[in-house]
Structure 1
Amino acid sequence: MSRDPFQSIILDAEHALRAVVGIRPELAPFVTLARPWLDDAARSALEDLWAFARRDAAAMGDPDYVLATYRCFRAVLGYRVSNLIHRRALSFPAGDAVRFYLVCLARGLSELMKVETGVEIHPAASIGARFVIDHGLGTVIGEQVRLGTDCYLLQDVVLGGAAIADSSLRPLGSRRHPDIGDRVEMGAGVRVLGPITVGDDCWLGPGVTVTNTLPAHTRVKLVNTTQMIRGDGGPTIQGAVMFRDTVLIVGVRLGNLVPTMLDATLEPIHQLKVVSSGDSYICCHAPERQATGSGSVTIGLLVGGRISSWLLLASSAVGLGESADLAGVGSPGGRNVSLVVPRSELI
């Protein structure tokens, strides 16, 4: 390296703390108090810096480049400083003014890093050595998260609680955030939620949501998404597909429904001929292209002459002779709620 990375990290940390004081001038004396602690934070951040340079291919193995340009490394550096200040604050008695202002300083730095980098890491989170956040934007790490050594996260990862809950409803001291082992890798958009454990050497693919404990060496990937419709006890559509001249609709309590072609205002045009049906499915002829005038079609499911539910089948092809996907679903009364539920599998 062309310059001393340790001193560069110290200077960056001091600059960030001065920025916090610019917003909260009353914290200036506590920045002075925290200054001797920065060496410890910088030593941890230096390990992170080398991990960034080594593990991120775009860094080209150059710590200088990471230090000069990587906002995601700055987020990790900010965490190392805020975490150290937070831990030192807890050594003061509860109710002590010094403790209060040091905690405020730590949180103020965390909030500043969130604005500057798009990464939010709570100062109280526990993160092991050689931590890398690649890209980072949108990543959130909660207060009670414990993350092991040599972990690698991409952007938009959330390590947090499984529910939005009033803290007064939880037992005092109860955990709400996950415990992550060593050498865990998480792809973009991963969510690990709740007081669960993810063992060492796990690999979580992009878009995966984990709410149950995973043993060490587990690999999880997202294999597809399933659109599910949750109703109020009436007919429920779980999926639909249109292929060539046939539409297949699957769900629950569909036996008495009459499939009907609808116009753009959801007014019935004509009934569709049913090939076969049961409580869990309806197979009917697809509307002719001339009746739709587009690559999508709206089908209503009628009971007693009233539209119970409707679905929009959209085709990427121009003609309806090609396959199509369920693009939307609903009901005139708004009873059905469309949910996109990811389905993951262990590999």
Structure 2
Amino acid sequence: MIYKNSLQSVMRIARSDPDLQVGGCFGWAASDLIKAIRHGGLEVSGIEGIVLQRSSLSNGSDVGFPARQFVRNTDDAEPSCRAAVLAELKSLLLPYVRPAQFDRILADGLGLVASLAVEDLNELTVLDPASRGSWRYVLGSYAAYRATLSYRLAHAVYRSAERPQGLSSSVELRTLARSLSERAKVTTGVEVHPAARIGRRFVLDHAVGAVIGETSVIGDDCYVLQGVILGASGIAGNPTDKRHPTLGNRVQVGAFARILGPVTVGSGSHISPHALIVSDVPEGSRVRIVNQCQVRSAGARCVILGVIPDGPGKFQIFGSGLDGATVDFIDAQGTSVSYLKVDILSRASRRIDCRFHGRQAPSREMLRITMPDGNHVLLTQMEVTWRHLDSSSMRTDWSPS
């Protein structure tokens, strides 16, 4: 095991030892770096604690050290963070391009890319409590941040295709941008099209399975979790113009939410997990799914479409085949509760109007709809529905039988 405290030492070893391998689950970071060194020209410093492993010493086993060993928990000053991010950007680009070609590849240079990437890094470090406040820890171990970093670089290359310089053509630059994006998809599990436009201080957290389409636009200070899809509304044959969502500033998107089509999510909105968005969302909105899970006995033939509040202490059950049904609340053991009673105000095949009364409002209780033949349907996860009932006017002039 060889431990060195600067990239200069890594350069010297990588140039002289063709059998050098990298240990640990995050070895890809140093692997890219070593490959870049062997192509020649990388001269950077300032990242501490590179842990490398010689195959001749380890017999090919992986001892589990990460590619970086973090010596301190406290963060260094901004220049150190910027230098570390620049080194990562170069390690991503060098497998494809020699350092002398950087200026021809990036019309705006690496400086602007690094500035945006540093803001992303600091934002994730601050907002994710698991980071322990260390940007070094995030930079060295978070695949989600590496996906953001790769996007920043790929997007800069893609934009350079609009005004190619030197020997690089627009097609070559777009191919390079897509190659960076595709490699990030394989190594991080996140796909962000290099043409997507993403504002400052962007955070991908956990992020595995997230997809951000080509014409997506994301504002500043947005936070996106794993499995989120910003996609088109169709599958094949989508239009070539704007077909992906636009997110305003300060939008938070929960895990596995799907936002499809050229819709706009207003600034300050919160999209809850698993939501499906296919129309515009006003600013400052909170979008969530209200679940009403159904558990049916084997012979139940009635259909329950849903339960909605209908004024103080009242609710309506919609469906079909509801003639003769009775309604009551039961607990987790399937026993009718004594503190909640349901009066049926009217009943028809497609709707039952009910009113409940008791000494407390329902919360986690299940609603049981029983048919004359004894079969029943249980409605669970009704907490959101019951919160919308006004319990202040509940009748209390009753006693349990």
Go from structure 1 to structure 2 and tell me whether the alpha carbon gap of 1:85 and 1:224 turns closer, same or farther (over 3 Å shift): same
What is the CA deviation profile of residues 196-225 of structure 1, one whole-angstrom value per residue up to 9, with x for unaligned ones? 111110011111111110111001111116
Structure-2 residue corresponding to 1:219: 286
Deviations 1:132-169 (A, max 9, x none): 011111111000000000001111111111111314xx
Q: Which is worse superposed, 69-78 or 6-15?
A: 6-15
Q: Work out whether 1:78 is the aligned partner of 2:166.
A: no
* 8 Å contact from structure 1 (residues 119, 140) kept in 2: yes
- Secondary structure of the equivalent of 1:159? strand
Equivalent residue in structure 1 for 2:141, among 69, 80, 84 = 69
Counterparts of 1:222 and 1:149 in 2: how far apart (Å)? 26
3-state SS of paired residue (1:116):
helix
The residue type equivalent to 2:269 in the other structure is C
- Asked if the contact 2:196/2:215 (under 8 Å) is kept, the reply is yes
C-alpha displacement of 1:284? 4.2
Structure number with greater Rg is 2
Amino acid at match of 1:139: A
The one-letter amino acid paired with 1:116 is T
TM-score, normalised with respect to structure 2:
0.54
User: 8 Å contact 1:107–1:122 — kept in the other structure?
Assistant: yes
Tell me, in whole angstroms, the C-alpha distance in 1 between the residues paired with 2:190 and 2:161: 23
The 1-side partners of 2:224 and 2:185 are apart by 16
* One-letter amino acid of the structure 2 residue matched with residue 82 of structure 1: A
- In 1, the alpha carbon distance for the partners of 2:169 and 2:99 equals 12
Indicate the SS of the match to 1:58: helix
Q: Supply the AA of the counterpart residue of 1:211.
A: V
Match of 2:126, as an amino acid?
R
Secondary structure of residue in 1 paired with 2:371: strand
Distance (Å, rounded) in 2 between the aligned partners of 1:92 and 1:238: 61
Residue of structure 1 in register with 2:174 after alignment: 103
Residue from 218, 243, 248 that aligns with 1:181: 248
Q: Does 1:10 align with 2:86?
A: yes
Shift of 1:283: 2.8
Name 2:186's counterpart in structure 1: 115
Q: Distance in 1 between matches of 2:173 and 2:155?
A: 11
CA distance in 2, matches of 1:81, 1:40: 10
**Which of residues 237, 242, 251 in structure 2 aligns to 1:166?**
237
- Asked if the contact 2:292–2:379 (Cα under 8 Å) also holds between the matched residues in 1, the reply is no
Q: Which runs of 5+ in 1 are unaligned?
A: 228-234, 241-248, 256-275, 288-298, 300-312, 314-322, 326-347
Cα distance in structure 2, aligned partners of 1:284 and 1:28: 80
Instruction: Give the drift of 1:12.
Output: 1.3
Answer yes or no: is the 8 Å Cα contact 1:85–1:106 preserved in 2: yes
Which of the numbers 200, 220, 227 marks the counterpart of 1:156?
227
Contact 2:158 2:174 (C-alpha < 8 Å) held by counterparts = yes
**Larger % of strand: which?**
1
CA deviations 1:310-344 (Å, max 9, x no partner) are xxx8xxxxxxxxx588xxxxxxxxxxxxxxxxxxx
Choose from 159, 167, 192 the match for 2:259: 192
Q: How many correspondences in the alignment?
A: 248
Distance in 2 between the 1:58 and 1:237 partners? 46
TM-score, length-scaled by structure 1? 0.62
Q: What is aligned with 2:337?
A: none
Report if the CA contact (8 A) 2:103-2:109 is conserved.
Answer: no
2:82 maps to amino acid: F
Alpha-carbon displacement from aligned partner over 1:165-205 (angstroms, at most 9, x marks no partner): 314xx3x53x1111110000111111111111111100111
Distance in 2 separating the partners of 1:202 and 1:71 = 26
Q: Specify every segment of 5 or more residues in structure 2 that has no aligned partner in the other structure, as ranges.
A: 1-74, 295-300, 307-316, 324-346, 353-369, 381-401
Partner amino acid, structure 2, of 1:186: V
Question: Structure 1's 101 and 214: CA in aligned 2 closer, same or farther, altered over 3 A?
Answer: same
Could you say what secondary structure the match of 2:291 adopts? strand
Confirm whether residue 285 of structure 1 aligns to residue 361 of structure 2: no
Q: Give the letter for the 2:249 counterpart.
A: D
Distance 1:111 1:146, change over 3 A: same
Cα gap change, 1:277 to 1:284, in 2 (>3 Å): farther
Mapped partners of 2:123, 2:150: distance in 1: 16
Alpha-carbon distance between aligned partners in 2 of 1:277 and 1:216, rounded to the nearest angstrom:
41
2:117 equivalent to 1:45: yes
Whether contact under 8 Å (1:10, 1:42) holds in the other structure is yes
Q: Does 1:207 align with 2:274?
A: yes
Corresponding residue SS for 1:285: coil
